[in-house]
Amino acid sequence: MEKQTENGPTTNTIPRPTNPMVTPLLTDLYQYTMAYAYWKAGKHHERAVFDLFFRRSPFGGEYTVFAGLEECIRFIANFKFTEEEINFIRDALPGTCEEGFLDYLRQVDCSEVEVYAIAEGSVVFPRVPLIRVEGPVAVAQLLETTLVNLVNYASLVATNAARHRIVAGKSKMLLEFGLRRAQGPDGGISASRYCYLGGFDATSNVAAGRLFGIPLKGTHSHAFVSSFMSPDEIVEKSLCSADGSTTCQDFVGLVHTWLNKIQRTRLSIGSFGDTNLSELAAFTSYALAFPNNFLALVDTYDVLRSGIPNFCAVALALNDLRYKAIGVRLDSGDLAYLSCEARKFFQAIEKEFGVPDFGTMSIAASNDLNEETLDHLKKQGHEVDAFGIGTYLVTCYAQAALGCVFKLVEINNQPRMKLSEDVSKVSIPCKKRCYRLYGKEGYALVDLMVGENEPAPKVCTNQ
C-alpha cells in the first residue's frame, strides 16, 4: 500500500477535483448531522480508522480494477469549506445548530487525515481495503460518501472495460463511444477516463480527450450522409495530391470514374446496381475534408450494394492522389457477415486494380456491442479490426453499481465492527495490512490480510 499524507492545505499543490461539483457538500446530510453530534459529544477529535472496500466483484466475475483514487486524493487534499457552504450547512441541519460547530467546520481540513491506498489501476479483490482513511472521526466521516461515489463507478467501469478487452483480444482496437448514453455529463467523462485505464485505446469524447489526454476517434454519422442530396452539391471539387505535386481539378469526376470501373468489373464479390448518390456525395465531401483520414460509415442505405462500393470508389480516387483511406464503419445488421463480405470486396479490389494493402482496409463495427456480443462475434468469425462500444460499456448495463462501502474498523485504538443479520454485511474490525503473495513463477497466488501489528508473511525458501 502507498501512503499519502496531507501536510496542511496552505502548501498544497495537489489540484482540485476534475469535476468542480465535487465539493464537501457532495455528501449525504447524515454526515453533517453525525459531525454535529460528534462535536456536541466532544468526540469529534477521536482518532478513527475507516476501510473502503467492496464485498463482491462485479459482472459475476472474480476481479475488479481499482480506479478513482486520484480524484479521491484531490478531494481530500483540497477539503475546505467556503463561507457559503457553511451557511448552507447551518440551514440544512435540522433544528438550531450552535455557532461553535460552524466555527469548528471553518477550520476543518484533512491535515490530520492519513490515507493509505492500493495503487490506482490494480486488480483487486473483495473485502481487501482499497483505501484506509485514518483521522478525526468527524472529518473521516465527512469524506465517506464522496470517496465511495468517486471509487464505485470508476472501478466498475474500469472493470467492465478490462472485461471487454479480454474478450476482444489484444490485437483489436477498442473505442469508447458512450457519452450520449452515459448517466449524466460526468458519467460520460468518467467513463471515457476509466475505460482508457481499463484497456480501451481511444474515446469519442472530446472533453475527456482534453482533460486526460486520451486519444480521440470519430468519423461521421448517418445524419451527415443523409444531409447530402447528390454530388452536384459539391462546389469545391479540386484536391491536391498527398505530396503536393499535382492537383486534381475534379475529384468528384474521378470518384465517378472509379465507381463506373468498379461497377463494370466482375469482381469476385458479385455485381451490384446503382449505388446511392447522396451517400456518394457525402463520402466524397468527407474525403475532400479529410483526404488523409477517410473513414466512412457505410450502412445508411445498404452496406453491400451501396456503402462499400461507394467507399471503394472514393478510396481508389484518393489512392490516385497518393492518399491512403483508413476504412469503414458498420453500425447495423449482421456485423460478422457484413465484415467478412466487406473484407472480400476489399481484397477483390486489391487484386483487380493492383492497389497494395487495399484488402487490409480497417473495418470498425458499432451498434449496441457488449461483452457477450463480442464473444458471439468471435465465435462466428469476423473481419472487424476495431469495435466502437457505448451504452452497455459506460452504463455497466450488466450490473450498474459496485457496492463499495466505508466502514469504521477502529476508534481510539479500539477495534469496531458492524454486526448484521446479513452475514455478508458484517465488517472485519481492526487496522489491516494486505500482502499479495506471488508464487515462484511470478504469478499472484493470494491476497493476505493481517493485523497492522502482526508480522509480515515470510518467503519460505525450502519448499
Collapse the DSSP code of 1 into the 3-class scheme (helix H, G, I; strand E, B; otherwise coil) and give the result.
coil
Nearest-5° angle of CA 71, CA 72, CA 76? 115
Q: How far is the CB of 136 from a copy of itself (least distance, A)?
A: 11
Site for a copy of itself in 127-146 (CB under 8 A): 137, 141, 144-146
By CB under 8 A, tell whether 340 contacts a copy of itself.
Answer: no
**How many residues line the site for a copy of itself (CB under 8 A)?**
117
Cell numbers that stand for 324 in this block: 491512403
Nearest CB to a copy of itself, comparing residues 57 and 347 = 57
In whole angstroms, the minimum distance from the beta carbon of 119 to a copy of itself comes to 21
CA angle 141, 147, 148 (to 5 degrees): 100
Of residues 8 through 67, those in contact with a copy of itself by CB under 8 A are: 17, 19-23, 25-34, 36-43, 46, 48, 50
CB contact at 8 A, 359 and 343: yes
Q: With contacts defined by CB under 8 A, name the span among 102-110, 111-119, 163-171, 212-220 that binds a copy of itself.
A: 212-220
E-strand ranges in 245-347 read: 247-248, 295-297, 327-330
- Specify whether the CB–CB gap between 370 and 392 falls below 8 A: yes
Segment contacting a copy of itself by CB under 8 A, of 5-13, 55-63, 173-181, 257-265: 173-181
Asked whether position 214 contacts a copy of itself by CB under 8 A, the answer is no
- How far apart, in Å, are the Cα atoms of 272 and each of 45, 255, 269, 400? 79, 17, 9, 45
Sole binder of a copy of itself in the list 78, 155, 204, 319 (CB under 8 A): 204
Residues 402-461 that bind a copy of itself (CB under 8 A): 402-404, 406-408, 411, 414, 416-422, 425
292 binds a copy of itself, rule: CB under 8 A: yes
Asked whether position 88 contacts a copy of itself by CB under 8 A, the answer is: yes
State the CB neighbour count (10 A cutoff) for residue 375.
12
Q: Which of 291, 307, 309, 327 contacts a copy of itself by CB under 8 A?
A: 291
Q: Which helix (H) or strand (E) segment is 451 a member of?
A: strand 444-451
Q: Which residues partner with 124 through β-bridges?
A: 64
Q: Does 236 bind a copy of itself (CB under 8 A)?
A: yes
- 244 vs 442, beta carbon nearer a copy of itself: 244
Number of Cβ within a 10 Å radius of residue 433: 17
- Which residues between 346 and 385 bind a copy of itself (CB under 8 A)? none
